[in-house]
Amino acid sequence: MKEVLVTGTFNIVHPGHVRLLEFASKYGRVTVGLNADPYLKRKYGDAALPLIDRSYVLQSIRYVDEVVVFREDEPSALILKLKPEYYIKGPDYTLDTLPELPAIESVGAHLIIQPDRKEYSSTEIISKAEDIQHHVSAFKKLNKFT
């Protein structure tokens, strides 16, 4: 069976992530390369979910065969180590936004960018949740005086 690698933070797993993993599973055995916590803390701050939780959710998805963690900011070293036959990214990526492109080319992996349009964004979900929390806090303050 062919080896497929999908990498990312998977901070808040949403339907777009599941569709990406389903898409990837059509090419072979799916390994998810998951960013370690320090990178997530820098990217999302307090909205970063712990690695153990992100890994648990991913391992619960039927399209995922294995989850591995990488500690670097980008997955080049993991790609060089695993040498997947396919490297698959979501529709929000382009050749210009993949710093791991030289590693992909070095191991001869087929790069596939999922052709679907991007429907979800973990960053936007977090932002909306923060807005809701702000409004709830403001409402509670108003209610104390009425």
131: pLDDT strictly greater than 90: no
Q: In whole angstroms, what is the distance from residue 31 CA to residue 10 CA? A: 13
Range in 33-47, 91-105, 124-138 the model is least confident about: 124-138
Q: In whole angstroms, what is the distance from residue 57 CA to residue 23 CA? A: 18
**Strands across the sheet with 66-70, in order?**
66-70, 29-35, 3-8, 86-89, 110-113
pTM above 0.75, yes or no: yes
Question: Which tens digits make up the pLDDT trace of 24-62?
Answer: 999 999 999 999 999 989 988 888 899 999 999 999 999
**pLDDT over 70 for what percent of the chain?**
79
Stated as kind and residue range, the H or E segment containing 67 is strand 66-70
